[in-house]
Amino acid sequence: MRRFSPDNDFQSVIREKDWALVYFSATWCGPCKTMGPIMERVASDHQGSVTSIKVDVDEAPELAGRFGLRSVPTLLLFKDGQVVDGQVGSMPKEAVTAWIREKKEKEHE
């Protein structure tokens, strides 16, 4: 999972692949600490088909504002640079994987 740096252009980062999964978190967030290892495994499992990016909302508050985030952890799934769907809160790996699969399959319908 790549860590987003505010020095990078977010739009260019999420357009590197057709699909991008952005994991918004914060170091002070308890559920984010639980989700961190889960998101690393999800990123590893989808390497090559989904670009996975971690964004610390304290380091990039403008992104949190741009997407209207009110809570972390938040997952946003992008297709071609546009938000397809989002999930808020801690989720097990299987749920994250099923969510990604569902959205990708829906795209092919």
Q: How many CA atoms lie within 13 A of 107 on its CB side?
A: 16
Instruction: State the pLDDT at residue 44.
Output: 95
Confirm whether pTM is higher than 0.85. Answer: yes
Instruction: State the pLDDT at residue 98.
Output: 97
- Identity at 66, one-letter amino acid code: R
Q: Beta strand 2-3 with 51-56: parallel, antiparallel or unpaired?
A: parallel
Residue 59 among the catalytic residues: no
- Identity at 107, one-letter amino acid code: E
Set 32, 53, 55, 64: catalytic member:
32
21: CB partners within 8 A, 6+ apart: 42, 43, 46, 50, 51, 52, 53, 75, 76, 77, 78, 100
How is 69-99 classified by DSSP, letter by letter?
--SSSEEEEEETTEEEEEEES---HHHHHHH
User: Are 52 and 42 a contacting pair, CB within 8 Å?
Assistant: yes
2-107: CATH class: alpha beta
Residue 32 among the catalytic residues: yes
Interatomic CA distance for residues 78 and 17, integer angstroms: 10
What are the extents of the domains in the chain? 2-107
- Which residue carries 């985030």 as its tokens? 69
Set 29, 38, 69, 72: catalytic member:
29
Instruction: Per-residue pLDDT tens, the chain, 109 aa: give them.
Output: 777 776 667 777 777 668 999 999 999 999 999 999 999 999 999 998 998 999 999 999 999 999 999 999 999 999 988 899 999 999 999 999 999 999 998 876 6
